[in-house]
A = this chain, B = another copy of it.
């Protein structure tokens, strides 16, 4: 396919390189600054530009991969005069409707954190797609398939819950690491001693559901240990509060097993 890429950030870079590698023709790359456009264009044999009006008026797909804040404004400019083309945005937290002034529009959202330096392997990243019509959805699925990504059709409404779920599994799990580090630091213990257990905890949910994988005093209903731990945390009440609530909530979810 002939593809126009609007954006040259981390996600745009990873996507453009992957699409180029499997034989798609990245015809043009737009970025607000010519330097960013050139950097990415050079990697994928595309034509760089910092002016939206210089972009081709026809292509098999226009992919907008810009910041959430800029998306609405740039979408309006890109769609103008190209209403019959197919447009995708890649923003997990934005509705498909931000592109609704085009005829064919959709979402192409690979869920992972990206960097420009370390290119990701799309075959291990879930890719959530949505289309305003069947032709657009099929184009998204074909693009995903070409880079060997596993594609999941998902509505904008459900994608909001996907985002909430990612906050729990990633930001909040990471915060548990931070609280662990806070306890260790108060007792002069290096946080890195916890890494093998952290890795094992992440590995286990590849085999078991998180509820099945749970261990520790709360799920064992070992209230002697829970009470003793709350005593140990009495000088840091903010940690004791979270310890107590999580222990109770672990017991709630254990009942669903």
Binding site for B on A (CB under 8 A): 93, 111-113, 124-126, 152, 154, 158, 160-184, 186-191, 193-202, 204-206, 209-211, 213-219, 225, 228-229, 232-233, 238-239, 241-243, 245-246, 249-250, 252-253
Taking a contact as CB atoms under 8 Å apart, the answer to whether A152 and B196 are in contact is no
The verdict on A152 contacting B201 (CB below 8 Å), with A209-B181, A214-B178 known, is: no
B124 and A161: CB pair below 8 A?
no
- Cross-chain contact B184 with A162 (CB below 8 angstroms): yes
Is A232 a contact partner of B180 (Cβ separation < 8 A)? no
Question: Which of A168, A215, A239 has the most chain B CB atoms closer than 10 A to its own CB?
Answer: A168
Contact B238 A175 (CB under 8 A): no
* A165→B181 CA distance, assembly (Å): 7
The chain B residue with its CB closest to the CB of A229 is B164
Assembled-state Cα–Cα distance A125/B250 (Å): 27
Decide if B169 touches A211 in the complex (CB within 8 Å): no
Do residues A168 and B179 form an inter-chain contact, with CB atoms below 8 A?
Answer: yes
Q: CA of A160 to CA of B186 in the docked complex: distance in angstroms?
A: 12
Q: Taking the nearest CB of chain B, how far is it from the CB of A152, in angstroms?
A: 6
